[in-house]
Amino acid sequence: MTSKIIGTGSYVPVQVVTNDDLAKIVDTNDEWITGRTGIRERRVVMEEGTSHMAVEAARRALDNAGVKPEELDLILLGTASPDHCFPSGACEVQGALEAVNACAFDISAACSGFLFALNTMQAFIQAGIYRTGLVIGADCLSKLVDWKDRGTCVLFGDGAGAAVVRAEDKGMTHTVMRSDGAKWQVLSCISRTNGNFLNHQTPEPGYISMDGQEVFKFAVKKVPECIQQVILESNLSMDDIKYFVLHQANYRIIESVAKRLKQPMDKFPMNMDHYGNTSAASVPILLDEMNRTGRLKTGDRIVLSGFGGGLTWGATLLEW
Ligand code: UT7
């Protein structure tokens, strides 16, 4: 028994922020951002938060799957930007959906959040513990970036994507999840602290800080490695894979991965030009676009792969 994605959904805020808009607030320009990243515009929240986006994506995924909220056994939300320290965003989603029979919790793996949540769901289903699950990747990094730091504020966008997963004979076959905590400082967001009555600390703003080149080098090495691992373990070859659906951080990272895997670029769908890097949401948003536009056919073998803060990275091989 394995688990299969039977429905997808996504949500992005309506507000579009273009590269030209950002050039008005930091010293940057469209040519630099597009040329270095492939990003032309992104969506940014006005009022809504991570949970709101997650709920909307989840409703669309349930509708697409034809599954009722009360059928859900487990809800996993991959996010690095929950609206509250606690309760988990997943519990908020459960409440909004009235998924009364589910257990819900968050998974913190930054941009790998959806992949880690999906692989965790697969483990629960494969073990026979649960049958029907909802996996969400949602992030609202616009609330965590320093809008004066041109090195990071041009990269990210807000959004959410979701997948309904069910126990079936065919579906996810191989998974890899890895992390390297020794490099946690390469990409981090130190949370705001009020201190306590003994140490008299004053609250500090916590912004995303990133060594972009280190993340780039890590991604182009580790992503091909974990993709090769799931393919090797499945006794398939690269040519058996229809699409590689990678975290949408930078088109140059994806080009480099394609080159290392010796695979054509048309196997690597991309949408970061419209949404920027939506962190844990990027893989499920892209998957939902592909599903709804009919690009995914029953029996297609696809590999999903995410990477990000932690450092974390992983891959999942599945049959659609
Ligand atoms: O989800 C995972 C999250 N992160 C990533 O995936 C990030 C991976 N890394 C990257 O995508 C790239 O490293 C970046 C896009 C972040 C940066 O590209 P780069 O080619 O590594 O540029 P750089 O950091 O080496 O900076 C080159 C120059 C610098 O100026 P000098 O020192 O050469 O004069 C920067 O100050 O570009 C400057 N720069 C900018 N210029 C215009 C940095 N940000 C900007 C900007 N606009 N927004």
Active site residue 84: no
Atom of ligand 1 nearest to the CA of 252: 11
CA of 101 to the centre of ligand 1 (A): 46
Residue 133 burial (C-beta neighbours within 10 Å; 0-12, 13-18, 19+): buried
CA of 145 to the centre of ligand 1 (A): 15
User: Which of these, 153, 160, 209, 214, lies nearest to 183 by C-alpha position?
Assistant: 214
CA of 211 to the centre of ligand 1 (A): 9
Atom of ligand 1 nearest to the CA of 277: 1
- Contacts (Cβ under 8 Å, ≥6 apart) of 209: 152, 187, 188, 189, 190
d(CA 289, CA 34): 22
Q: Which pLDDT belongs to residue 202?
A: 73
Banded pLDDT at 192 (limits 50, 70, 90): low
Q: Where do the DSSP E strands lie in 169-273?
A: 172-179, 187-189, 208-210, 243-246
Q: What is the DSSP letter of 104?
A: E
* Pairing label, strands 2-11, 312-319: unpaired
Using a cut of 0.85, tell me whether the model's pTM lies above it: yes
Number of H helices, E strands in the chain: 10, 13
Atom of ligand 1 nearest to the CA of 250: 11
Bridge partners of 246, per DSSP, are 305
Which of 139, 185, 250 is the best mutation target for the ligand 1 pocket, counting ligand atoms within 8 Å of the beta carbon and taking the most? 250
Fold of 174-319: Peroxisomal Thiolase; Chain A, domain 1 (3.40.47)
Number of other residues whose CB lies within 10 A of the CB of residue 170: 13
pLDDT tens, position by position, 55-84:
999 999 999 999 999 999 999 999 999 999
Which of 17, 188, 216 is the best mutation target for the ligand 1 pocket, counting ligand atoms within 8 Å of the beta carbon and taking the most? 216
Active site residue 153: no
Banded pLDDT at 198 (limits 50, 70, 90): confident
Q: Span 106-126, mean pLDDT?
A: 98
Banded pLDDT at 201 (limits 50, 70, 90): confident
* Residue nearest atom 25 in ligand 1 by C-alpha distance: 213
Supply angle C-alpha 138, 304, 60, rounded to 5.
Answer: 40
User: Where does ligand 1 bind, in terms of residues with CB under 6 Å?
Assistant: 28, 32-33, 36-37, 111, 150-151, 154, 187, 210, 212-213, 215-216, 219, 249-250, 277, 308
pLDDT tens, position by position, 135-144:
999 999 999 9
Q: Which pLDDT belongs to residue 195?
A: 75
Banded pLDDT at 179 (limits 50, 70, 90): very high
Residue 80 burial (C-beta neighbours within 10 Å; 0-12, 13-18, 19+): buried
Q: Residues 111, 140, 189, 226: which is the catalytic one?
A: 111
Fold of 2-168: Peroxisomal Thiolase; Chain A, domain 1 (3.40.47)
pLDDT tens, position by position, 79-113:
999 999 999 999 999 999 999 999 999 999 999 99
Q: Does the pLDDT of residue 199 top 80, yes or no? A: no
Report the mean per-residue pLDDT for the chain: 96
pLDDT tens, position by position, 251-279:
999 999 999 999 999 999 999 999 999 99
Q: Span 174-194, mean pLDDT?
A: 91
Would you say the CATH fold of 174-319 matches that of 2-168? yes
Q: Span 49-54, mean pLDDT?
A: 98
Active site residue 277: yes
**Where in the chain are the domains?**
2-168, 174-319
d(CA 247, CA 159): 13
DSSP alpha helices (H): ranges in 130-235?
Answer: 150-153, 212-233
* Residue nearest atom 42 in ligand 1 by C-alpha distance: 28
Supply angle C-alpha 64, 307, 95, rounded to 5.
Answer: 40
Atom of ligand 1 nearest to the CA of 37: 15
CB 226, CB 176: distance < 8 Å:
yes
Q: Span 235-253, mean pLDDT?
A: 97
CA of 151 to the centre of ligand 1 (A): 6
